[in-house]
Structure 1
Amino acid sequence: MPPRLNIPPVTRILLVALIAQSTLSAAVRYRQWSAQSEIVVEWLTLVPQLSLFYPWTFVTTTLVENNVFTATLGGFTLFHGGRYLERAWSSREFAKFLLVSSLIPNLLCFLSMVMLFTLSRNERWTLTTINGTIPLQISFLVAFSQLVPAHTVTLFRGLVSLRVPRFPLIYIGLVTVLTPTPFLTTASLFLAVFGLLTSWTYLRFYKTVFPDLDSSQPTSMHGDASETFAFAEFFPGPVKPFVAAFSEQIFNLLVAMRVCTPFSQTDLSAAQGGNYIQRGASGGGVRAEAERRRALALKALDQRLHAATGPSAPRSHSQPPSQTSGPTVQTQPQPSTQTAMTTQPTSMLGETNYVPEHDHHDHHDHHHKKDGA
């Protein structure tokens, strides 16, 4: 039997909705097709002039593609990117990220189309369909730039090497090239730009993050104050100073409008120390989250064993109190021979220490030799 695909729940819902809604939209457009007019599905996709009575289209339109090419690309992105991010963040945080990354860019694109119609009086702007997974695709690239900022992707057998934070701008360039073609609409470029700004703002200032267990930081904080996730990091080196200066002025304006809040000293210290789970030095958010869960499980096991072997535990009358079945987890001795074999600090694995069985035999043989002497 072929291996079963392990798809997290939110990612599974996204894929099903994308296939179902895109198929429904294609069926409606095929049935009503005519050579004289362009068919739009205003109750499923967002059309500024026609969809005001269907407010749910601000969300559903993101999971509707108009052709096989964009539908295949969208499904591939949701499958691989969704699985990675949902496992790194949890299903709840991933769902919140999806809602923000789709609803806000669609709303901003809607307002931009209405403004362009107001300035030009050209109804083409308000009859343009705003749909597609473009906001989610570029939002995933922004999220990867936060999780693995130092990761380098090598293409064409080493001819091209690009760091992950370079991909959002490259993606916007590709969308700009494809916008005049039948594959994308004129709203695609707006969706890409607003998707970049929205996802970065949310991850930078609002998303809840959890520090490592060993840190002395609060149980949860918001945003990511690390320098590797500054907005200027998306741009090439020569233009970084100009982008940094411009983005700082925008940030000061948003702070004055109380849209954003400046980072506290705790946030800056946590970012510099690498205490965030999703930015841990152990190799990405997935591995850090696994370490955190394992540490919590081991700590709970230690507490149960300590309670079972503590003074309140019932003892057998035939066994002296001084003789226990073995040392508790907290008092388990650590042989010096195991120090060189340990590859990670003990605090990362809770308080449990593993003692191989052969050490017990060596200790037993040592006693026999000592008695024989």
Structure 2
Amino acid sequence: MPRINLPPLTRGLLLVVVSLSALNAILRTNKWRVQLDAAPSPIAATNYLSSPEWAIPYLVLIPTKSIRYPWTFLTGALVENNLVSMAVSASVVYFGGRYLERAWGSKEFGKFVLFVTMIPNVVAFFLYAFWHGVTAHTPDFPTPLNGMVALEAGFLVSLKQLVPEHTVSIFKGVIRMRIKHFPAVFVLANMLSGPLLGTDTALWLSLFGFTTSWVYLRFFRISEITSTATGGEGSVMKGDPSDTFSFVAFFPDVLHPVLSPICDVIWATLVQMRLCTPFSDEAIEAGNENAASRSEAGLPSIMNGRGGGGGGRRAEAERRRALALKALDQRLNAAAANRGTSPAASVTAASSNSKAEEPSTAAAGASDSTEPTVKDEQT
């Protein structure tokens, strides 16, 4: 049996989702059976999955009731009510989680999961609590909030940031779609399912999950970048100011002329209210170059089922090598000018040293495609 290779946090998250969903199913079934034995009814026998009467208030988030159980703001997002939704959520965690955790690291991935699960639940909790409070008749069993819809929307927004132009084929190529279109399609599907299927909670959770993940990644997440704008050296940047991750970029190109003025007005208002800080031109340039380098690398083999990730990693290593050599030449020129020696001689010496190191670097790259990147960063 092949060994399942998952990063630690993704593995733990997957186990928690399966365990809490199984526990929720057991407790719901027991509660349903007790009620059915006390008052046999064909209605009680048919609404086991749909009725909020069987919700467990200390596992899922129930407006006006679960305020006594504050941990449900987190656990509610990790509980599914049926096998289909649990299978979808487990697949999203398995494929999306292991890629994002390897791309960001466990610490950043953990912070992202906490933001995108708790903030949408808090906002939805107060929205439904307010709605139940202003209506003339407060239901005996308020609508429970549970499921990974918000986190699924957040994962799609993250993949749109990292590899927007990657194409995913479904059903042997019958359906082909670029990842940058996934978030909008996902939110639209949940908007339509609300009035048609009665899943209004999925509508709000998908909207809040989409918004929370985009705001966090766009303005707050600290990431490391390497670009010509930073002289070929690694630096940190708050947010993602690239043009490909703007809010209007989530919509089809035909809608950009209509949406761009609206987004610009909203952005200018937020800046005047000092709720947002505008990005500098240097930050936008560095963000665009960083986005271009991510697109060149592409998705690794764990996502597309092929071994095509090695070519992208080698191209990224070559790009970093060229940037490092360029920065080294500039520093040698500056040092030679300060000493009054010939810059050309210093550059020639640096080039000869780099050529002498190329055979060993190429040999190491043949055995491990990730090793040249480490050596280049040390250079």
Deviation at 1:348, TM superposition (A): 5.3
Indicate if the aligned counterparts of 1:278 and 1:288 stay in contact, CA closer than 8 A.
Answer: no
Deviation at 1:126, TM superposition (A): 7.7
* 1:209/1:335 CA distance change after superposition, 3 Å: closer
Indicate if the aligned counterparts of 1:116 and 1:125 stay in contact, CA closer than 8 A.
Answer: no
Deviation at 1:4, TM superposition (A): 0.7
Matched, 1:146 2:161: yes
Matched, 1:212 2:211: no
For 1:10 and 1:140, the matched residues in 2 are separated by 15
For each residue in 1:1-44, what CA deviation from the matched residue of structure 2 results, as whole angstroms up to 9, or x when unmatched? x1211111110111111111111111111111135572121111
Percent identity, please: 35
Give the aligned partner of residue 14 of structure 2: 15
Matched, 1:167 2:151: no
* 1:335/1:111 CA distance change after superposition, 3 Å: closer
Higher mean displacement: 258-267 or 4-13:
258-267
Matched, 1:40 2:39: no
The AA in structure 1 aligned to 2:21 is S
Give the aligned partner of residue 112 of structure 1: 127
* 1:164/1:175 CA distance change after superposition, 3 Å: same
* 1:70/1:125 CA distance change after superposition, 3 Å: farther
Give the aligned partner of residue 80 of structure 1: 95
Deviation at 1:131, TM superposition (A): 0.6
For 2:86 and 2:97, the matched residues in 1 are separated by 15
Structure 2 unmatched runs, 5+: 36-42, 45-50, 301-308, 325-351
For 1:85 and 1:279, the matched residues in 2 are separated by 13
For each residue in 1:62-120, what CA deviation from the matched residue of structure 2 results, as whole angstroms up to 9, or x when unmatched? 10001111011000100110000000100000001101111111111112212322443
Give the aligned partner of residue 187 of structure 1: 201
Give the aligned partner of residue 239 of structure 1: 255
Give the aligned partner of residue 118 of structure 2: 103
* 1:187/1:122 CA distance change after superposition, 3 Å: farther
Deviation at 1:160, TM superposition (A): 4.3
Matched, 1:58 2:57: no
Deviation at 1:239, TM superposition (A): 1.4
Deviation at 1:161, TM superposition (A): 3.5
* 1:276/1:28 CA distance change after superposition, 3 Å: same
Matched, 1:262 2:278: yes
Give the aligned partner of residue 251 of structure 1: 267
* 1:129/1:83 CA distance change after superposition, 3 Å: same
Indicate if the aligned counterparts of 2:117 and 2:150 stay in contact, CA closer than 8 A.
Answer: yes
- Larger Rg, first or second structure (1 or 2): 1
- SS state at 2:177 partner: strand
Count of residue correspondences: 315
For 1:125 and 1:144, the matched residues in 2 are separated by 40
For 1:132 and 1:78, the matched residues in 2 are separated by 13
Matched, 1:196 2:210: yes
* 1:351/1:91 CA distance change after superposition, 3 Å: closer
For 1:169 and 1:23, the matched residues in 2 are separated by 31
Deviation at 1:174, TM superposition (A): 2.4
The AA in structure 2 aligned to 1:71 is M
Structure 1 unmatched runs, 5+: 300-329, 353-373
RMSD: 3.8
Indicate if the aligned counterparts of 1:147 and 1:278 stay in contact, CA closer than 8 A.
Answer: no
TM-score normalised according to structure 2 size: 0.72
Indicate if the aligned counterparts of 2:227 and 2:286 stay in contact, CA closer than 8 A.
Answer: no
For each residue in 1:347-371, what CA deviation from the matched residue of structure 2 results, as whole angstroms up to 9, or x when unmatched? 956469xxxxxxxxxxxxxxxxxxx
* 1:74/1:156 CA distance change after superposition, 3 Å: closer
* 1:266/1:126 CA distance change after superposition, 3 Å: farther
For 1:3 and 1:45, the matched residues in 2 are separated by 35
- SS state at 1:43 partner: coil
The AA in structure 1 aligned to 2:20 is Q
